[in-house]
Structure 1
Amino acid sequence: MIDQCGRNIDYVRISVTDRCNLRCVYCMPEDGVKNTPHEEILRYDEILRVCRIMAGLGISKIKLTGGEPLVRKDVPYLVRELKQISGIEKVTLTTNGILLTEYMKDLHAAGINGINISLDTMNPALFREITRRDMLDHVKCGIEAAMRYRDVPLKINCVPMGMEGQDLMEIAALAGEHPVHVRFIEMMPIGYGKKFKFIGEDEIVGQLRAAFGEVTPCMDKLGNGPGHYYTVEQLTGKIGFISAISHKFCNECNRIRMTSQGFLKSCLQYETGRDLRTLLRTGADDGDIEAAIREVVLKKPTGHEFLAEQISEEESHCMAQIGG
């Protein structure tokens, strides 16, 4: 699928639930978000139907997200079925790692192509402050479980927040101790993320150079989207950045998103899109759904306006509800 800017859209991020077992301060309020009733969440057969149609249109890469995707039952089943769709080359998962010890074996058997684990600090006290849960040891066990499967690429995702005690170089050091890549994802000014300090890529690259030696751009393609990577002298794994604000990459964006309720979005920032759930549940044929998907892709915005003073139709939901 080619959008109005000539970008090839071949990647979809699919949220399977808006529920989570953490309460990260930049994602949701302390009491969590109001849980969406189960009947309003897309069933697996509905997700699979949409993905078959998308595969026919050129989507080849799928990322499963949440909330926390592993709080939904039978996610390995969904991975296995997605892998059977002709044209789907990669199915990957983003998780907070807490349940990964329990599910990694089944995910591997289902054919998962990659795991991303979100981890913003190695400091137990700060982890409790950020996530409002005392579960850092669970995440560490999840990382260890994932590393047992060397054929499944593992990435650690960290959101710099500017909080006292958040040692970004301690997270980066995981790429030296383990065969993993570490990525720093700039805070998105959406929902609760708006109130945290912005730390840009250039500042972190400077910290890397001071801590680990020479930092040089890496031309290898190591992910589904427009993230880019560096080779760092003293680290085995690569250090990556998803720098949507300081190094805007909208001209290279290749993704669309579908929420757990079946709302298809072409850009994280805007609420515009199409309600596929209603089509799925009111007798629409595959052609109708295909037309809706094409419409969303064709109208994909040229780029985000996070730095603009006033934005029309700005996304009002928090990241857990969107599918981060």
Structure 2
Amino acid sequence: MLMDRHGRTVSYLRLSVTDRCNLRCLYCRPAEAISFIPHERVLSYEEMIEIVAAAQELGVHKVRLTGGEPFARKDFVPFVARLHARFPKLDLRITTNATMLAGRMPELRDAGVRTVNISLDTLSPHTFAQITGVDAHRVVLAAIEEALASGIRVKINAVALRGINDTELPAFVDFARTYGVDVRFIEFMPIGYQCRWTEENFWPAEEIVAAFHAMEILRPETNTEPHSGPARMYRIIGSQGRLGVISAVSHHFCASCNRLRVTCEGRLRTCLFSDEEYDVAGVLRRPDYQRTQLLELFQRANAAKPLGYELLAARKRTNVCQRVMTTIGG
């Protein structure tokens, strides 16, 4: 079991398979061009499988595969199938921008995937291009419809951006009601090199929740999903659809944090707001590698896991960490 000094137990691992992405979302990547991590530094799929094996041995039950954009990496779906075959009881999830998702549903289902989280910050094609730098709104919507038609559950992640998508709550309510999906609004976080976060475009969760209540069609719902994240969810009355908020900045949930992150080049991060990293790749690539070495690294790192809200407060919501979000894995 991975328990830290604050009594928090880890059951959830976010594993980034690549830092490459075909979008350029304003909340994720800096304005100027960035260099991708060289291929030789990126973990092999075999190394990732060993990481998951070690994590499961330490009590992790849920693994989310992220990027960058995970489908941008060659042979990603066969890798997912290998993970499912090796760890059939593992709760295996994927977060994607869905631009490369269409046509993959049969092989995803065969690979054991039952839920995908899709980033969709707007229901307006024009605003989509403004946020991502790419005209792919129709492609994403088509992939969502295809996933639902195939029986794969869909959750929508929307970064809350004042002045950009803060007029779209009614449209997202209709979307969630029509498709029977979860839509979660995530507070814009001041993370990363040349982050474009400002107080002016920060749309706090409590304002979103107040808007939920004003609509009088939503009721709070307890999240009973095992190893769940920090979203506060609200059911749309008379519908399978739900809306929610993730208040990573304004209302911290550090006390219930149950996750660790491993970047695509094998750096373990215990807190999204901390630049402290532990060299997983270095351990895996030792000539005398044994799994006990990796287990010890995970235990040592988790023992020193900080409280993220203290870091956020100390840095006054600016330049909370120097990593670009695409290299962290979200």
Give TM-score, length-normalised by structure 1. 0.93
Could you tell me how far 1:89 is from its partner in structure 2?
Answer: 2.4
Alignment deviations for residues 37-76 of structure 1 (CA, whole Å, 9 cap, x no partner): 1111100000001111111111110000001111111222
CA contact (8 A) 2:121 2:165 kept: no
Question: In structure 1, how many angstroms separate the alpha carbons of the residues matched to 2:320 and 2:4?
Answer: 21
**SS in structure 2 opposite 1:36?**
coil
Question: In structure 2, how many angstroms separate the alpha carbons of the residues matched to 1:113 and 1:317?
Answer: 31
CA contact (8 A) 1:272 1:313 kept: no
Partner of 2:110: 109
Question: In structure 2, how many angstroms separate the alpha carbons of the residues matched to 1:119 and 1:322?
Answer: 19
CA contact (8 A) 2:25 2:132 kept: yes
1:219 and 2:222 matched: yes
Residue from 243, 263, 281 that aligns with 1:239: 243
Partner of 1:303: 308
Q: How does 1:1-324 map to 2 (within 5 A)?
A: 1-30=2-31, 32-86=33-87, 88-150=89-151, 152-164=152-164, 166=166, 167-191=168-192, 192-195=195-198, 197-211=201-215, 213-222=216-225, 224-233=228-237, 235-283=239-287, 284-304=289-309, 305-309=311-315, 314-324=320-330
Question: In structure 2, how many angstroms separate the alpha carbons of the residues matched to 1:172 and 1:313?
Answer: 33
Alignment CA distance shift 1:153-1:194 (3 Å): same
Could you tell me how far 1:168 is from its partner in structure 2?
Answer: 3.0
Question: In structure 1, how many angstroms separate the alpha carbons of the residues matched to 2:165 and 2:268?
Answer: 38
Matched residues, percent identical? 36
Bigger shift: residues 97-106 or 247-256:
97-106
Could you tell me how far 1:125 is from its partner in structure 2?
Answer: 1.1
Bigger shift: residues 307-316 or 152-161:
307-316
**SS in structure 1 opposite 2:201?**
coil
CA contact (8 A) 1:19 1:68 kept: yes
Alignment CA distance shift 1:193-1:293 (3 Å): farther
Question: In structure 1, how many angstroms separate the alpha carbons of the residues matched to 2:165 and 2:276?
Answer: 38
CA contact (8 A) 1:14 1:323 kept: yes
CA contact (8 A) 2:64 2:93 kept: yes
**SS in structure 2 opposite 1:156?**
strand
Alignment CA distance shift 1:87-1:303 (3 Å): farther
Could you tell me how far 1:235 is from its partner in structure 2?
Answer: 4.3
**SS in structure 1 opposite 2:245?**
strand
Alignment CA distance shift 1:234-1:14 (3 Å): same
Could you tell me how far 1:13 is from its partner in structure 2?
Answer: 0.3
Could you tell me how far 1:91 is from its partner in structure 2?
Answer: 0.4
Question: In structure 1, how many angstroms separate the alpha carbons of the residues matched to 2:204 and 2:230?
Answer: 16
Give the aligned residue type for 1:170: A
CA contact (8 A) 1:56 1:87 kept: no
Give the aligned residue type for 1:81: R
Give the aligned residue type for 2:120: L
Give the aligned residue type for 1:299: A
CA contact (8 A) 1:76 1:110 kept: yes
Alignment deviations for residues 206-230 of structure 1 (CA, whole Å, 9 cap, x no partner): 222334x243220132473222211
Alignment CA distance shift 1:4-1:32 (3 Å): same
Give the aligned residue type for 2:296: A
CA contact (8 A) 1:59 1:87 kept: no
Q: Which consecutive residues of structure 2, in runs of 5 or more, have no partner in the other structure?
A: none
Question: In structure 1, how many angstroms separate the alpha carbons of the residues matched to 2:319 and 2:92?
Answer: 31
Q: Which consecutive residues of structure 1, in runs of 5 or more, have no partner in the other structure?
A: none
Question: In structure 1, how many angstroms separate the alpha carbons of the residues matched to 2:328 and 2:260?
Answer: 12
Could you tell me how far 1:155 is from its partner in structure 2?
Answer: 0.4
Alignment CA distance shift 1:87-1:141 (3 Å): closer
Could you tell me how far 1:297 is from its partner in structure 2?
Answer: 1.1
CA contact (8 A) 2:30 2:324 kept: no
Q: What is the alpha-carbon root mean square deviation over aligned residues?
A: 2.1
**SS in structure 2 opposite 1:112?**
coil
Give the aligned residue type for 1:216: R
Question: In structure 1, how many angstroms separate the alpha carbons of the residues matched to 2:16 and 2:239?
Answer: 32
Question: In structure 2, how many angstroms separate the alpha carbons of the residues matched to 1:52 and 1:106?
Answer: 23
